[in-house]
């Protein structure tokens, strides 16, 4: 009888230990920055018992991805504040997989937080023997971030159009491309970085050896200045940009398509139309983003070209963020596809607008696959109508002396979030792209018409806000711009 009881006790202990070990399911997140900073909250909400592990792809975090108050903080302070909520933290190195295995956990997936994790997260998933359904299968991850490698890979996709592109590092190479393909314009993209530093330039076709008219020369000169600016900038890894991909500029409507892949099957969570304004001599300026209903022929076509293109570049798992252009002939072109969450905190906006997001749905697929399959569907309904509005600046080069305008933007009905790109005393120039606008402002509205009113209000603020005064600081050679007094919303 004692032996029987002992055997029962041993079985119970073995079951308890096994159950305990089985319950130690883990998810690894690499570089939880930008929109990826929401992974901790999303995963905790989906399963509070899961072991959450964070891995930094590099010890030094990119300045472009840091909150302003952490830019000059010590590395460990940055890491602790940004990733301190995770159960374990590592910095990626050749032994990282072994260190994680030593935790005696079952790693279900390795998630990318932002662009800097795209390459290393894939390799770490392989090293940790993550199931094939929850990782990419291709060993070549270059098309996931390298703009030229991605465009080359997409040449085989029949559902999209293809435009000339070339990697350049000198003005001579750029001029040759303009001569062959630059009418009506060109677009710059850093070869290895997040997003794109895009600019439409409008040169007249001409052989570089021919005499150029004054206006043609100015346009070529502007292209050269822009190239020099990009090649003197830092990429997402705080490294100098050595090469850019240059493409023919196409007129059309640009869309953002977001979703996630599990085992190669993509579920879409938001479709967004970009509204932009072309200003010759400056570039293609962002205006506002309009969220589209799921139904419609164009929406269905957008999703299909993203499915085809994502499959071709090797996306089998994780978030999918694509930018697609539909040209004037109705042909679709891939601007870029990224294997990461959409930027500008889009997933959190998705959840407010539709009740589901690419991150929350992916977390459910990993941690509760049966429930995920039961809820699986394509489509969503917009409960509210979001608008992301770019607050642009078009004055002379200046130093910022006041940002009181931000407080007034926050008081507008329907305000949700402000993403500032500048702080007090920063130098500011005319906005030429999304990243050098003064700020991005998110608003929620009950109807599309009410959302459009928010856009008009911000445009009025742009016109009425800048009030100039000469600097009282002798060391400052620039004027000081005060973003404080607004048309129709004057502050006293």
| Tokens (6 digits) for 92 | 């990626």
Classify domain 164-248 by CATH number.
Answer: 3.30.1490
Classify domain 250-381 by CATH number.
Answer: 3.30.470.20
Cα–Cα dist 147/319, whole Å = 18
Beta pairing partners, 291? 272
| Tokens (6 digits) for 442 | 């998110």
CATH of 386-483, one of 3.90.1170, 3.40.50, 3.30.2390, 3.40.190: 3.90.1170
Give me the pLDDT at residue 21, please: 44
pTM over 0.95: no
Give me the pLDDT at residue 159, please: 95
pLDDT average per 10 residues of sequence, the chain (492 residues): 39 38 82 95 97 96 88 94 97 97 97 95 96 93 91 95 92 84 75 58 41 54 75 82 87 94 96 83 76 93 97 97 96 95 91 94 97 84 91 80 85 91 85 80 92 86 52 49 51 30
What is the residue extent of each domain of the chain?
Answer: 2-130, 164-248, 250-381, 386-483
Give me the pLDDT at residue 480, please: 67
Fold of 2-130: Rossmann fold (3.40.50)
Give me the pLDDT at residue 171, please: 85
Tell whether omega for the bond before 184 is within 30 degrees of 0, i.e. cis. yes
> How would you classify the pairing of strands 318-327 and 479-483?
unpaired
| Tokens (6 digits) for 419 | 């993403």
- Measured in Å, how far apart are the chain's first and last C-alpha atoms? 89
Residues 6+ apart with CB under 8 A from 200: 185, 186, 187, 249, 278, 283, 284
Cα–Cα dist 430/433, whole Å = 9
């Amino acid at each position: 009888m004692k032996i029987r009881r002992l055997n029962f006790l041993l079985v119970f202990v073995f079951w308890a230990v096994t159950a305990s070990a089985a319950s130690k399911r883990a998810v690894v997140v690499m570089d939880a920055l930008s929109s990826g900073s929401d992974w901790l909250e999303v995963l905790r909400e989906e399963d509070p018992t899961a072991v959450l592990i964070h891995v930094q792809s590099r010890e030094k975090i990119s300045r472009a991805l840091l909150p302003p108050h952490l830019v000059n903080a010590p590395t460990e302070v940055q890491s602790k504040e940004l990733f301190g909520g995770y159960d374990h933290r590592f910095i990626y190195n050749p032994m990282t997989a072994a260190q994680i295995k030593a935790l005696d956990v079952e790693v279900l997936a390795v998630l990318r937080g932002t662009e800097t994790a795209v390459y290393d997260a894939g390799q770490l998933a392989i090293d940790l023997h993550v199931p094939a359904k929850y990782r990419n299968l291709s060993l070549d991850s270059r098309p996931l971030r390298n703009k030229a490698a991605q465009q080359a890979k997409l040449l085989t996709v029949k559902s999209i159009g293809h435009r000339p592109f070339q990697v350049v590092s000198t003005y001579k190479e750029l001029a040759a491309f303009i001569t062959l393909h630059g009418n009506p314009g060109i677009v710059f993209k850093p070869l290895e970085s997040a997003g794109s530093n895009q600019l439409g330039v409008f040169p007249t076709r001409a052989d570089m050896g021919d005499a150029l008219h004054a206006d043609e020369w100015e346009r070529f000169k502007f292209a050269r200045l822009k190239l020099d600016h990009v090649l003197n900038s830092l990429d997402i890894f705080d490294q100098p940009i050595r090469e850019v991909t240059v493409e023919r500029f196409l007129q059309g409507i640009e869309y953002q398509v977001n979703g996630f892949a599990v085992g190669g099957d993509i579920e879409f969570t938001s479709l967004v139309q970009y509204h932009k304004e072309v200003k010759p001599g400056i570039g293609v300026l962002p205006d506002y983003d309009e969220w589209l209903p799921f139904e419609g022929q164009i929406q269905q076509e957008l999703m299909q070209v993203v499915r085809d293109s994502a499959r071709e570049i090797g996306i089998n798992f994780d978030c999918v963020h694509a930018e697609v252009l539909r040209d004037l002939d109705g042909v679709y072109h891939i601007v870029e596809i990224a294997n990461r969450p959409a930027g500008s905190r889009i997933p959190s906006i998705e959840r407010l607008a539709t009740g589901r997001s690419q991150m929350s749905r992916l977390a459910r697929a990993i941690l509760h696959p049966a429930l995920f399959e039961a809820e699986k569907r394509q489509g969503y309904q917009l409960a509210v109508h979001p608008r992301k509005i770019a607050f642009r600046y078009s004055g002379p080069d200046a130093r910022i002396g006041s940002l009181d305008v931000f407080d007034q933007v926050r008081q507008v009905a329907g305000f949700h979030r402000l993403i500032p790109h500048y702080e007090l005393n920063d130098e500011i120039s005319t906005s030429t792209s999304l990243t050098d606008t003064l700020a991005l402002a998110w608003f929620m509205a009950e109807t599309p018409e009410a959302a459009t009113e928010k856009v008009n209000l911000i445009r009025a603020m742009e016109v009425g806000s800048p009030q100039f005064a000469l600097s009282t600081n002798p060391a400052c050679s620039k004027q000081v711009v005060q973003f404080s007094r607004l048309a129709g919303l004057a502050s006293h």
